[in-house]
Copies of this chain bind each other. A is one copy, B any other.
Amino acid sequence: MARSQTTRKPTRIQREKTREILEAALDVFSDNGFRGSTIDMIAERAGVSKPNILYYFDNKEAIHKTLLAALLKTWLAPLYALDESGDPIEEICEYVAQKLKMAQEFPRESKLFANEILQGAPHVLPELQGELKELTQQKADVVSNWIKAGKIAQVDPRHLFFSIWATTQHYADFDIQVRAVSGDGKDPFETAGPFLDNMYRALLTPAT
């Protein structure tokens, strides 16, 4: 019986194949988007037959959903880590650094997410309106408290987060453009770190 219809504990083969298929699917989906990807591409990439893919997943969408669900957890982790009791500017700069590192280390995940949002978030809109909204609201309150306490300059907390998401993920999602413009110089990620760190310190350091 197909894994996807079973309730039993997964076998070793099931765990490994599932992981291999998801790995291949991440490659394919992040490069071609959901609609531009075919099960055959994923099958070839994973080195298995198409029916074998469909033995582990009910359909193409199920693979995509699984990837997005796993991604969301990792994606939000750095924001959860923003600590009200820490030093405000260091906390925010650390958040920026973490997000940039994730864009560097997980560009496929970043592109997968970007594709999903660009298409109107057909699979994760509920999560955006639920968990992400809650979390952002909560952390925006933290930033607001820091502002009230005069620890950082006055900025709109939500737009602060938007700008951090935009600037960090840009290096993964638009890497083709970044590289085209950068030419054969240094790795853009190397120089992006200091630039962003400097930018957010300038933005957040209170006027004396």
Contact = CB atoms under 8 A, between A and B. Distances in A.
Give this chain's copy count.
2
A81 interface: no
Contacts of A181: 128, 132-133, 136-137, 158, 161-162
A158 B136 contact: no
Interface majority SS (helix, strand, loop, mixed), chain A:
helix
Query: Which range holds the interface residue count of chain A?
Result: 35 or more
A203 B161 CA distance: 17
Interface stretch (A3-11, A18-26, A32-40, A53-61): A32-40
Interface stretch (A64-72, A86-94, A193-201): A193-201
A58 to B, nearest CB: 21
Contact of A191 (B129, B156, B199): B156
Contacts of A133: 180-181, 183
Interface of A: 31-36, 111, 114-115, 117-121, 125, 128-129, 132-133, 136-137, 153, 155-156, 158-163, 165-167, 169-171, 173-174, 176-178, 180-183, 188, 191-192, 194-196, 198-199, 202-203
Given A35-B36, A118-B174, A165-B170, 20 more contacts: A32-B119, A33-B33, A33-B115, A33-B119, A36-B119, A114-B114, A118-B118, A118-B173, A128-B176, A132-B181, A153-B202, A155-B199, A159-B188, A161-B181, A162-B167, A162-B188, A165-B174, A167-B167, A198-B203, A199-B203
